[in-house]
Structure 1
């Protein structure tokens, strides 16, 4: 056998081995996907149905329970959150809705790169507009009137615990369809003086009822701040430090937020901040909460925690907003709650 023949045989063998490895990887991924689409015994009852954002006394969320409706926007009665859930045909990584306006952030893994987009939804969950996203979906909110929508994505890094991450937060006026691609274009007042820096990041927008005021997290120089912003003036002002993912109460007097406990750790505890006095109240949840909480009413906040035994799923929990009581399971296998 000549050296040329030997090299040819080695090349063919290498191609066959690589093909076999590639096939194995594809089959393994397919098996994992198929397993994720199989309902777990004893899991929640999930059925397909028509959902709208003008239904009253409903709680909408992203279904995280295993089965064919995983990641679908689903709904349960507010009075029976643990009951059977109705799933739409819309699938989202993050979701929120208010006053007949919805926002759905989608992330589809592709062969060469991940595809991310934001869908502006009408009351029938139909897509009004589609916007490409610069990174992986992280947070989404709609103003109480339904006029403004905000979303945050990770442009680099995959979590707020990463040593190197960059976020981009956008705000859309659904009346004029004017998009502010990044809050980083807003003027910043920090500790009473104008502030400029190259490392600024914003995330976790929450809106007031006046269609102008909003709150968000500002990160710079390895510190986080709660800022109050004005959409019309395109300004933000720092209020206090160590506040992440704020969520404004329905009455506009308090902000629920996650507070980093112990410097340089990836642990957050839930607190509520009185906006008048800036007094902080720790909530009864002692697990680390990496989520933007949602107020179900003026007394109760909801948030997601990882599910036991399923690293790809979360459960929704609630806790009293005054620091009393104890956490209670709201919906197993769910995320992104939006009370209608």
Structure 2
């Protein structure tokens, strides 16, 4: 064999061994990924088209399953919430949608620190308008008509559990882009009288219509459910010990997290429902700590997040206190029902 032939043979052997090695690594990685998915019990996630005006009833959520589509908005049929997900390519930290309008709170990672923005999306998830957000996103909501969007951020701190935090809540009217940049500037009516204090915080909007909403007002170490009037720029307190309210579709009840006596300071909240007509409150069957703004999937059922292996899982429980909590879908956050 000539020297050239020996060199060619050696080169072919090296290339063959490299190909075998690469194939083995890729196969092992693929099998490892399959095992990870099997162990997590996570859903299949694939790219596709996502609409906020679907022809059928669907659930849109932030996908937390590991893989290339983590943190993207994804959709599943509402009656098959743990089925395969269609991922949109649009990433959001917090999200909500109604009537073909979405609000997506995003992070922009810089060399030294992160900045945040609130992006209004149309029905095809195209950006319509963006606004700077003053801190870490925590809550978002869209009015039933799709005309109003709201979001809350932490200006300082990153948890509601203690007292060392400050929030800012904004409402934007998408019809003319009027911005209410800070609801703390609204007049607060407490115990029937105007109230002012330096320690006021406002968070967690839930809309009744395009003029009326509910929100948490905190002052003096206590929290209150307040009814907001957008035109009058007022917040009127209604009931104590209410955080992150969520109005039922029929407009008669508020689901919320309530601080309960005897609970750990790090896990103080339980999920309650308030009847707005009688102002009576009832505990749900969910006895774990709830740090979320619950969502009504219908007039009888609440959806909320709990910590999970990959960030958070979604659970459901009846709003009337009956039954037992049930898992809805894993590796998901920030749900919205559409259609």
Same fold at TM > 0.5: yes
Counterpart of 1:26? none
Once residues 320 and 152 of structure 1 are traced to their aligned partners in structure 2, the CA distance between those partners, rounded to angstroms, is: 27
State the shift of 1:262 in Å.
2.3
With 72-81 and 262-271 compared, the bigger mean Cα shift is at 262-271
Measure the CA separation in 2 of the matches of 1:186 and 1:199.
Answer: 14
Aligned to 1:195: 195
1:96 and 2:92 correspond: no
Tell me what 1:274 maps to.
275
Task: Give me the TM-score of the superposition, normalised by structure 1.
Answer: 0.86
CA distance in 1, matches of 2:116, 2:162: 20
CA deviation vs aligned residue, 1:210-260 (integer Å, no higher than 9, x gap): x11100000111110000010111111000100000000000000000001
Select 1:41's aligned residue among 19, 37, 40. Answer: 37
Considering only aligned residues, what root-mean-square deviation do their CA atoms show, in Å? 1.4
Shift of 1:261: 1.3
Matched residues in 1 for 2:292 and 2:168: separation?
17
CA distance in 1, matches of 2:303, 2:107: 24
- After the TM superposition, which residues 215-294 of structure 1 pair with which residues of structure 2 at under 5 Å, given as runs? 215-262=214-261, 265-266=265-266, 267-294=268-295
Q: 5+ unaligned residues in a row in structure 2: which ranges?
A: 1-32
CA–CA distance in 2 between the matches of 1:136 and 1:109?
Answer: 12
Counterpart in the other structure of 2:24:
none
In 1, Cα distance between the equivalents of 2:162 and 2:69? Answer: 31
Deviations 1:273-329 (A, max 9, x none): 00000100100111100000000000001000001xx3x510000000100000011
Between the aligned partners of 2:261 and 2:282, the Cα distance in structure 1 is 17
SS at match of 1:152: strand
Instruction: Report Cα offsets for 1:91-129 as digits up to 9, x if no partner.
Output: 000000000000000123322121100100000000000
Counterparts in 2 of 1:51-200, with a 5 A limit? 51-55=50-54, 56-200=56-200
Question: Which secondary structure does the structure 1 equivalent of 2:123 belong to?
Answer: coil
Which has the higher Rg, Structure 1 or Structure 2? 2
Distance 1:41 1:323 in 2: 34
1:325 lines up with 2:326 in the alignment: no
Deviations 1:32-85 (A, max 9, x none): xxxxxx673222100010101100300001001111111100000011111111
* Alpha-carbon distance between aligned partners in 1 of 2:335 and 2:85, rounded to the nearest angstrom: 13
Cross-structure match for 1:6:
none
- What is the distance in 2 between the residues matched to 1:235 and 1:162? 27
Secondary structure of residue in 1 paired with 2:231? coil
Q: Distance in 2 between matches of 1:51 and 1:41?
A: 23
Q: Which runs of 5+ in 1 are unaligned?
A: 1-37
The equivalent residue for 2:334 is: 336
Please say which of residues 156-165 and 245-254 is displaced more in the overlay.
156-165
